[in-house]
Structure formats: C-alpha cells, structure tokens
C-alpha cells in the first residue's frame, strides 16, 4: 500500500471502464457515501477516500498551513488520481470537496470528465453584491462556540445542518463523524471553509459541472447554486431536489441517489 493510499484510506471498489470518485465534505468521512456505493459498484470502478483531517485519518498528517486553503485538498485529490491511474473520472464532490474538485480540474482538466457538485458554495459569507447565506458575525460566533465546548457545539450544529433532531439516524451519524475529528483540526477546517472566497476561480473551471442542491439547506441557499451555474467557465446544469439539509445523500438517500445516478449516467446535452 502506497503512502497516499494509506494516508487517505483509499478504497477501490467495483469495476467498469468509467471511474467514479467520491469526495466527502466537512465533518464527515467516506462513510457518508454508504447509501450510494451499492448503486455504483456493478457498473463503475469506484474510488473512495478520506480528506486529511477527517477523524479516520492520522491527525499527525494534518498540515495546518497546507490545508488553510483548498489548494491543499486539490493537490491531494490529484495525487490520489495519479496514484490510481485515473483518467477522465466522474468526480462526485460534496460541499468542501465539490469546490476541491473544481480547483483540481483547473490544475488538471485532463483528469476529469465532469464534476457532480452537491451542496457546493464558492463563498459562504455575504458581501454587498453576493448572498452566501452567512454574516461574518455568525461565523465568528460558531467558531467561538467550537473553541469553548466542541462536544456541545456538535449537539447544536449537527441537527441544524442535517435538518432533523438528535433522534434522526443521519444527525447521529454526522455527530459521530464530527466527534471523531480532533477539535483543533475541526476548527481549522471550519475556518478555512467559512473564510474562503473562490468566486474568482469559477470562470477557469471548464469541465462540465452538474450542480445538485437541496431545496432547503441551512448552509447553502438555492441562490448560490444559481450563482455557480451563471459563473462557471464550462457547461453547467442545476437540479434542485426537494430535500432538506446539507447532507441529502445521508439524510434523504431515497430522493437524492436517483438524482445523482442520473447525473452520473447522463452528460449535459447542448441546447
């Protein structure tokens, strides 16, 4: 097993001429795709991996400087694709990883056939001319709460983000993977996500992008999906799904997975 494979807990499942790569978002790990994977392995070669900093990775490998921008994650993704000789993959990225895939595709467009972006946002904080969904003071308060009592913060944050109460299996699952993260790493990743501004990258993304968005997502308003659609440099399409929450593949798989499979199977048709 190579160093990259071991560090990111890379798993290769199924078989097929086409490779589907699944990238998870903040606070989760590759287990967030557990409802999706069985629908892929008979037809595709599937690659799963954990972002550095996830609770399933070695915290000693987390470089706070490298992962203070999304380029660090993008270089990791490119290294994984190169290690496994991936060419023109279908990359399914959730939240943080959807933007990681976008940046990686700018550096190495040859590695990507298309991106499927779930709950993607190029910037979470509002500006005078942009609605990301959050005011800076709200982000500061969330960071303060994380620092003061991480476990307590999770019990408030997880239900809000997933869209449910603590009795929900999806909320419990998200709470578990959040709790597995070392608190200082979780805070660092959270700050990186909620302070980045990737709007200037969008025009340079030339691979096709399929934007899949929950109709009710506390973290990403529907307007952000439309903003991506209008500003990406290549072909793009938006589908708003009647789901609630930021992790629809975990909380509403019966609605979300058929949509994702359709976007994996079908390319954007020129109008």
> What's the pLDDT tens digit per position in 166-223?
889 999 999 999 999 999 999 999 999 999 999 999 999 999 999 999 999 999 999 9
How far apart (Å, rounded) are the C-alpha atoms in residues 158 and 237?
A: 29
How far apart (Å, rounded) are the C-alpha atoms in residues 164 and 173?
A: 12
- Which H or E element spans position 138? helix 136-148
The pLDDT confidence band at residue 224, using thresholds 50, 70 and 90, is: very high
Using the CB atoms, write b or e for 30-52: b if 16+ within 10 Å. bbbbebbbebbeebbbbbbbbbb
The predicted pLDDT at position 269 comes to 83
The predicted pLDDT at position 270 comes to 65
User: Which of 95, 98, 121, 175 is an active site residue?
Assistant: 95
Helix axes 183-195, 136-148, angle to 10 degrees: 180
> What's the pLDDT tens digit per position in 68-108?
999 999 999 999 999 999 999 999 999 999 999 999 999 99
The pLDDT confidence band at residue 35, using thresholds 50, 70 and 90, is: very high
Mean local confidence (pLDDT), 20-30: 98
User: Which of 29, 50, 76, 217 is an active site residue?
Assistant: 217
Q: What is the mean pLDDT of the chain?
A: 96
The predicted pLDDT at position 164 comes to 82
How far apart (Å, rounded) are the C-alpha atoms in residues 218 and 182?
A: 24
Question: For residues 102 and 206, is the Cβ–Cβ distance under 8 A?
Answer: no
Mean local confidence (pLDDT), 19-42: 98
Query: Does position 1 have pLDDT exceeding 90, yes or no?
Result: no
User: What DSSP assignment string belongs to 184-251?
Assistant: HHHHHHHHHHHH---GGGGGG--SEEEEEEEEE-SSS-HHHHHHHHHH-SS-EEEEEEEEESS-HHHH
> Helix (H, G, I), strand (E, B), or coil: what is residue 167?
coil
| 217 classed as catalytic | yes
User: Which of 94, 210, 246, 263 is an active site residue?
Assistant: 246
> What's the pLDDT tens digit per position in 106-122?
999 999 999 999 999 99
Query: Does position 157 have pLDDT exceeding 80, yes or no?
Result: yes
The predicted pLDDT at position 264 comes to 97
The predicted pLDDT at position 230 comes to 98
Q: Which of 4-18, 53-67, 158-172, 180-194 has the lowest mean pLDDT?
A: 158-172
Of 256, 236, 211, 191, the C-alpha closest to 118 is 211
| 35 classed as catalytic | no
The predicted pLDDT at position 187 comes to 97
Of 43, 107, 45, the C-alpha closest to 72 is 107
| Overall size of the chain counted in residues | 271
| 246 classed as catalytic | yes
| Residue 224 neighbours by CB distance under 10 Å | 23
What is the percent of the chain where pLDDT is above 70? 99
What is the percent of the chain where pLDDT is above 90? 96
């Amino acid at each position: 097993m190579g160093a990259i494979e071991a560090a990111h807990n890379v798993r290769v499942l199924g078989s097929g001429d086409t490779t589907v790569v699944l990238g998870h978002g903040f606070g989760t790990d590759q287990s967030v795709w557990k409802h999706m994977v069985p629908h892929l392995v008979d037809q595709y070669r599937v690659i799963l991996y954990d972002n550095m900093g996830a609770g399933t990775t070695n915290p000693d490998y987390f470089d706070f400087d490298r992962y203070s921008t999304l380029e660090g994650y993008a270089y990791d993704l490119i290294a994984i694709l190169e290690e496994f000789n991936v060419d023109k993959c279908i990359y399914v990225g959730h939240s943080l990883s959807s933007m990681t895939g976008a940046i990686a595709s700018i550096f190495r467009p040859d590695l990507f056939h298309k991106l499927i972006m779930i709950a993607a946002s190029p910037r979470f904080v509002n500006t005078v001319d942009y609605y990301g969904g959050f005011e800076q003071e709200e982000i500061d308060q969330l960071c303060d709460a994380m620092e003061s009592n991480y476990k307590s913060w999770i019990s408030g944050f997880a239900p809000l983000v997933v869209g449910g109460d603590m009795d929900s299996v999806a909320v419990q699952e998200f709470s578990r993977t959040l709790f597995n993260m070392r608190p200082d790493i979780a805070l660092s990743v959270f700050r990186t996500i909620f302070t980045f501004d990737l709007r200037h990258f969008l025009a340079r993304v030339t691979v096709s992008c399929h934007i899949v968005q929950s109709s009710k997502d506390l973290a990403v308003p529907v307007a952000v999906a439309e903003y991506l659609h209008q500003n990406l440099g290549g072909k793009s399409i938006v589908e708003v799904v009647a789901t609630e929450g930021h992790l629809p593949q975990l909380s509403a798989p019966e609605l979300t997975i058929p949509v994702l499979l359709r976007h994996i199977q079908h390319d954007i048709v020129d109008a």
